[in-house]
Structure 1
Amino acid sequence: MRRLLKQFVSRYLVEEDLGREPCPVQRKYEKSGLTEIQAMEIKANIEQAFKMDKIYRNNTLGLDDLAEHIQQNRYKVSQVINTYFAKNFYTFLNDYRIKEAKYLLASDPGLSVKAIMFEVGFNSKNSFYTAFKKNTGVSPNDFRSSAAYSFGMQMA
Structure 2
Amino acid sequence: MGILHLSIELTLDLIALISGIILIFRAKDNYPKLYWGIIAVGIGLMFSWENIGWLTIVTDTPEYNFTDLLNIEKMLKWYALANIVVLFPTASLSPGYLNHFRIFTFLLPPIITITVGICYLGFNGVITPIYSLNEIIPNINNTDVRLRICIFLLSVLTPLFILTHTMICTKTYRRINKNMYLFIGFLFLFLGIYILFTLNINEFIFNLFGITAIVFTVLFSILYLRYENPFSDHISMVYNTNKKISQVENSPQPLPLFSTIETYLKEHHPYTDRLYNIKDLAKSLNEKEHDISMAIKNQGFSGFREYINCNRLEYFRQLAVENPEKSMKELMFACGFSSRATFYRNFSDKYGVSPSKFIDNQYNNKEVLI
Q: TM-score, normalised by structure 1?
A: 0.73
The CA deviation at 1:106 is 2.7
Q: 55, 61, 67: which one pairs with 2:270? A: 55
Q: Give SS of 1:52's match.
A: helix
Is 1:107 equivalent to 2:347 in the alignment? no
Amino acid paired to 1:90:
R
Q: Whole-Å Cα distance in 1 between the matches of residues 305 and 328 of structure 2?
A: 21
Query: What is the deviation of 1:15?
Result: 2.8
Query: How do 1:6-155 residues align onto structure 2 when only pairs under 5 Å count?
Result: 12=155, 14-18=157-161, 21-22=165-166, 39-40=255-256, 42-83=257-298, 85-87=299-301, 88-155=303-370
Which structure dedicates a bigger proportion of its chain to strand? 2
Amino acid at match of 1:61: Y
Q: Distance in 2 between matches of 1:126 and 1:119?
A: 16
Aligned identity (percent) is 23
**AA matched with 2:300:** A
> Which has the greater radius of gyration?
2
Match of 1:29 in 2: none
* Alpha-carbon contact 1:105-1:140 (below 8 Å) kept: no
Structure 1 segments of 4 or more deviating over 6 A?
none
Post-superposition offset of 1:150 = 2.2
Q: Give the partner amino acid of 1:129.
A: Y
Following the alignment from structure 2 to structure 1, what is the Cα–Cα distance between the partners of residues 275 and 268? 15
Letter in 2 for 1:128: F
Please give the alpha-carbon distance, in whole angstroms, between the structure 1 residues aligned to 2:367 and 2:347.
Answer: 23
Deviation at 1:145, TM superposition (A): 0.6
Give the whole-Å Cα distance in 1 for the aligned partners of 2:366 and 2:156. 52
Name the CA distance, whole Å, in 2 between partners of 1:18 and 1:90: 31
Shift of 1:54: 1.0
Q: Secondary structure at 1:132's aligned position in 2?
A: helix
Q: Structure 2: which 5+ residue stretches go unaligned? A: 1-77, 79-152, 171-254
Helix, strand or coil at the partner of 2:366: helix
Residues 13 and 69 (structure 1 numbering): CA distance in 2 closer, same or farther, change over 3 Å? farther
Separation (CA, whole Å) in 1 of partners of 2:162 and 2:363: 55
CA root-mean-square deviation:
2.7
Query: Contact 1:67 / 1:74 at 8 angstroms: preserved in 2?
Result: yes
Query: How many Å separate the matches in 2 of 1:19 and 1:96?
Result: 33
1:19 Cα deviation from its structure 2 partner: 7.1
Task: Give the drift of 1:17.
Answer: 3.6
